[in-house]
Every structure is written in structure tokens, then in C-alpha cells.
Chain A
Amino acid sequence: MNSRLDYAALVRAAKRLDTIQTFSKVRLALLSDAATQQFVPLLRTLLHRQGVHAEIYEGAFDGFQIETLSPASGLYAFAPDVVIVLNAVQALRASYAARTGGGREFAEGRLGTIASVWDAIHAHAPKAVILQSTYVMPYERFFGNFDRKVPDSLYAVAAWLNQRIAEEARVRTHVLIHDVEAVASWNGRREWFEDRLWDMAKSFCAFSLLPEVAKNIVDIVLSLRGRVVKCVVLDLDNTLWGGVIGDDGVDGIKLNAHGDGEAFYRLQAYLKELLKRGVLLAVASKNEMENALLPFEKHPDMLLRREDISVFQANWSDKAENIRVIRQTLNIGLDSMLFLDDNPFERSLVRGVLPEVLVPELPEDPADYVRAIAELNLFETTSFSAEDVRRAELYREESVRRSEQGQYADADAFLKSLEMKLVAARFDCFHLPRIAQLMQRSNQFNLTTHRYTEAECEALMHDPGVLPLYAKLSDRLGDHGLIGIVVLAPDGEELVIRDWLMSCRVLARGVERHLMNLVVAEAQARGCTRVCGEYIQTAKNGMVREFFEQFGFTKIGDEPGHTLWILPVSAYEPVATFIATVPETAQ
């Protein structure tokens, strides 16, 4: 299975990191009741390998309660993007031993402390995301198996705290969990606990497992910065079922809930859950379309149905070409696609032609597929919204639109027929998860690519000095959901467009024109005479380089990768669109 990361090699590599290859920076603060010196170089190295340069602040050992409460502390002067709170069960064990009341009382006190640390951080660093650890389950079971029945035992206290930490984090969007207990259990708590290292160096685990903890944090940090798998592209024969449909027929392929087809059934069940949480599925198969569809339509044990597949490519072109077609249809980045294929030839072809696509090795035995994929932890996310649940449906509606489009004389006639309705409103609590998600995910239509977290979006929502707007679009064929964000900041005579981003699902429909009409009307209503805008170049947002120009803005600043634009309100003629603005409830 997957090989472990090597502690010594990572520590060595940490000494040779250059900053030239990295293109983005993150400020991490690490607060712990264990020592973290051994841990920091690992975080640094693993982030560097992903192109992220980490500035890391280490809080004083076991001093973070005081540090988080004091507004003048080094922590807040550091201005962290992410605060990692790492609580060691070894420290919990020591306080537990010194408790005066009952175990449950002790646990409640500890939970109160943890929540007050979060709230202090949030009060003094409202933009920071907090990553709270879980407690690793201790090895002592004072009552043996009966331990779980005794609410006072250390074992039960740790379990209770983990449960309650998760519950408290659910009501705070700025708190995410980094599940250290999951890392320890998966790798083995027998190896995890090294009491000697705790005694000598206050290390919370064996050094051999430190890289696994670091990787877990790195996965979350990357996800906060927009790394996300949006679509899984699937091979069919011997990946989604056993055998070759073209040769074996629908009765001959291996696929069932028990027996020799269970491995494939398990993979489908796994994919179905991913689909429910918003990951799109696509097919790239070397098959006749008619054959490829057969199991989806006729096989009683197929968990995945035709409507679960957003783009279905079955033909004799090479797989890289088909992945390109899927990418274009879904309008997503190649680096947000994962390709699963049992055939090593196809995997290496795709890796060679499309190096951005994630192509994991699949084990020889299909029984090991799900485990191999799950171990890579590829589906990390920092939010889950109502939009995710509907995503596959949204894309399905989109494909109906595309097929209808051909029936109209021209694009305008088609757009008119859609009867589009748009809601534009100030950020509100209900939409925050989706707003933050769009902030983190949209790459192409994004003028400034500020990656605001959910906590930062919430801060914008409360800030009377800015006008943060979201836009939702629906039409005759369905609801697109929340697809655009425009953050405006009035500044005297000027209305400044701080951010403007849109989901690529809704390009070429006039949404941006409609929104620009609204922005200029807003400027007028506020008595502003000019609208100002900014474009910050990234590797992916070339499509909006000349965005302002089409609306008659004049370029007033032109540095490499960064342009500034201005438009006199009086010079603007509203652009015709086929979209009606409606209030929130009418949609």
C-alpha cells in the first residue's frame, strides 16, 4: 500500500528549501501543549513540495491560553492565516491525574477551555482559520473493556471531548478539525505512543509518525487554498465492473453485492457517496457507446446510474483526448480532475499528456481499489453546502441547455428563451458556506483571486464599509444556485470593485454584463462618479485579463501581472441582457 513519509529525509530536506520555486505563501501559527520543534520542519517541507512557502510561528510550549487571551501577544502580531491548535493526550492525561472533581466535570472544564481559546483567537484574529486537533485515544483502559461504560475514565473523557469538539466546531465556521486521532489509529497507536519521547522532548508521538500528522495538516491547508478534486473520471471495463462488457455481455461481467464482483460494487458505493457530497463523475472508456451504456441501463447491481455520470465518453479516441472533452464540457481545471483506470498503460499515457490530472496507481487486485484511493485523502474540503448535494443535477440541467441551444436560430434567441432570473443581495449567513467555497474554488473567472475563508466572508458580511454581494441565477430549465460574487468598497467619489468572480458554469449568458449594470447603478445611487477595478494575474485567470476594457474602462495602471482600471459613471451605457433581476424570494 502507500509508503510512509520518512521523518529523517524530510527534516534533512527542510534545510535546503529555496523560495524560488514556491509561488504562494501561507502564515501558520502553531499552538500546542506539546513541543513542536520537531514538527515544524516537516510542515515546511511538505508545503514547499506543493509550491507553498510557509511562514511558521511557534507559540511558547504550553503557553497558548495566555497568548490567545492577550491582544498584544506575538501570535496576533504575526497575523496568522491559519492557527493550528494541537492538544496532546499526554498533557490531558497529566491534568486528568491532578483533577479534584469527577472525570466528567474535568472534561467539561477542558472543553470550556478549548472553546474559549477558539473564541479569543477569533476575536483578535477574525480572518484566521483555526485547525483544532482531536485527542488520540489513550492506551490505558483502567476498567478494560468496561472503560467505555464508565463516563469518568480517561478513555471515555477523550472520546467525549472528541465528540464535543466536533459539535462545537460545527457551529463555528472558522474552526476546522484536524483529526489527529484518525492519523494515530490508522497508523497504529502502538507505534504512536512513545512515552520516553514525551518525557525527554514533549513529543506527542513517535518521530516516525510526525510526517503523517504534518501531511494531514498540509492537506487541509491546500484545500483552504483551493486545491480540490471536482471530478472523478472513470474507466469502465475492469475498473467499474469485472470483465469486458463488449466481450462478456451484461450477464457476464462481474458485479454484485456479494462474491467475486463485490470489489467493483464497493468501488461504486464509494463513488456514489462522493457524488452525494458534490464530486462529479465522468466516464472515459474505450468502448462502443451502446455497449458501455448497457450495464448502466440493464444490470441489476449497478449502483451508478446513467444520470450519475455528468459526461459520458465511450469511443476509440485516446483517454487524454476524452479527458480534455470532459474538462471542456464541465469547464473545470485539469488539476481538479482525478483519473481512475486499472490499465497501467492508460494511466501513464494520461500522466504523460496531461500532467496536471491526478492519476493514482491502482493496485493489481480490485479488492484493494477503494482502500488505495481512500488512503490518499484526495477529497479534503473545508466546507459543505447545499450546492454540493445538487451539483451533479446542476450539470445535468446544463447539458439539456446545451442540446437545446442547437435548435435556436442564434445565441440571443436561445438566451431569451431561457427566461433567466438573477438575485443579487448582500452576503448573509445562509449563503456563507457556498460563498466561501466559490471564493476558494473559482480560478478562471476571478479578477483578484483573494482566497477569503468562510470566517473572512463573515467579517465582510458584518463590515458596514463594504458591499459584499452574491448573485444567484435560475432559468426555465433549472436553478444554477449561487454563481457569482462581487465585493464593492465605496471610497469617497469612487466605488472600488475589490473582488469579482463567477462560476464557469454560467459563462456566455450575459451575467457579467448584467452585474456590471447593477454595479454602475449602485455607484450612481451612492453619488459616486467613478468605478475602479483591478486585475491581478494568476496562472489561470487569463480569460478576464481584458474584462474591464469591454465595459469602456480606461487602464490607469499597468504593471506586469497587475492592471488598474477606471470608468466615469456618466460615460457608461447599460448593456442589454436577457436577464431579469428579481428579489430573493421570487426565484
Chain B
Amino acid sequence: MANADTHQRIEVIFRDILDDETLVLRPEMTAGEVENWDSISHIDLMVGVEREFGLRFTTAEVAGLKNVGDLEALVEKKRAASGK
């Protein structure tokens, strides 16, 4: 489970980009379950999360993400490594 700060900030980005103020992210959540989360908004989400945390994902990292939990874990890992 990601720490509260990472989780909350990612949730804000998702709500904003997917245009759903009530969206609650769960680790096992995937694109298929969430309205508006399609291949186009997916790229917006990735770029939005990168910008929020000042990180950069590689193409392979983005391709390897299976669900919200993976994304949060990836952000945690990168934050720890970069000190952000």
C-alpha cells in the first residue's frame, strides 16, 4: 500500500483528468473499470503524474503497469530513489 501522500496526489490527478470528482482509487483498479480511462486519457494520466511528482517514467515502465497499485508503487520507488 502506497503512503497517503502519494495516493492522495495521484487521486487528485485522476479525478481531474478523468473529470470525476468522486473517483476513489483502489490498488486493484484497472482502466476497464473506470469511466473515461481510455488509451488517450491514459497518456494524459501518466504525463500528469510525472509532472506532479517531478519524475519521468520510461516507456517500458509505463507499458508494464497493470493497475493503480502498480502505478503507486512505481511512483513510490522513484520518489525514494530521487528523494522527491
Contact = CB atoms under 8 A, between A and B. Distances in A.
Interface stretch (A8-16, A155-163, A271-279, A292-300): A8-16
Contacts of B47: 197, 207
B43 A200 contact: yes
Interface in B1-48: 16-17, 19, 39-40, 43-44, 46-48
Nearest to B38: A37
Contact of B17 (A8, A37, A199, A201): A8
A95 to B, nearest CB: 22
A369 B59 CA distance: 43
Contact of A38 (B16, B40, B48): B40
B48 A203 contact: no
A93 B13 CA distance: 34
A199 B59 contact: yes
Interface in A19-54: 37-38
B60 to A, nearest CB: 10
* Secondary structure call for the B interface: helix
How big is the A interface, by class? 10 to 19
Interface residues of B, number: 14
Nearest to A11: B44
A60 to B, nearest CB: 15
Contacts of A197: 43, 47
B74 to A, nearest CB: 15
Given A196-B59, A200-B59, A200-B62, A8 B44 contact: yes
Given A196-B59, A199-B59, A200-B62, A38 B44 contact: yes
A177 B44 CA distance: 29
A40 B39 CA distance: 15
Contacts of A196: 58-59
Interface in A184-204: 196-197, 199-201, 203
B43 A201 contact: yes
Contacts of A8: 16-17, 44, 48
Contacts of B16: 8, 12
Nearest to B46: A200
A199 B47 CA distance: 14
A201 B62 CA distance: 12
Contacts of A201: 39-40, 43
A283 to B, nearest CB: 47
Nearest to A14: B19
Interface in B36-84: 39-40, 43-44, 46-48, 58-59, 62-63
A15 B16 CA distance: 12
A210 B59 CA distance: 20
A207 B41 CA distance: 12
Contact of A37 (B19, B40, B58, B63): B40
Nearest to A40: B40
B78 to A, nearest CB: 15
Contacts of A199: 59
Contacts of A38: 40, 43-44
Contacts of A200: 43, 46, 59, 62-63
Nearest to A38: B40
A101 B44 CA distance: 39
A200 B56 CA distance: 14
Nearest to A37: B40
A199 B62 CA distance: 11
Residue from A12, A15, A201 whose CB has the most chain B CB atoms within 10 Å: A201
B24 to A, nearest CB: 20
A348 to B, nearest CB: 34
Given A196-B59, A200-B59, A200-B62, A12 B19 contact: yes
Contacts of B40: 37-38, 201
B65 to A, nearest CB: 12
A12 B18 CA distance: 9
A12 B16 CA distance: 8
A194 to B, nearest CB: 9
A197 to B, nearest CB: 7
Nearest to A206: B47
Nearest to A207: B47
A197 B58 CA distance: 10
A294 to B, nearest CB: 55
A196 B43 CA distance: 11
Contacts of B46: 200
A207 to B, nearest CB: 6
A88 to B, nearest CB: 16
A203 B46 CA distance: 14
Nearest to B63: A200
A40 to B, nearest CB: 10
Given A8-B16, A8-B17, 15 more contacts: A11-B17, A12-B16, A12-B17, A12-B19, A37-B40, A38-B43, A197-B47, A199-B59, A200-B59, A200-B62, A200-B63, A201-B39, A201-B43, A207-B44, A207-B47
27 contacts: A8-B16, A8-B17, A8-B44, A8-B48, A11-B17, A11-B44, A12-B16, A12-B19, A15-B19, A37-B40, A38-B40, A38-B44, A196-B58, A196-B59, A197-B43, A197-B47, A199-B59, A200-B43, A200-B46, A200-B62, A200-B63, A201-B39, A201-B40, A203-B43, A207-B43, A207-B44, A207-B47
Interface of B: 16-17, 19, 39-40, 43-44, 46-48, 58-59, 62-63
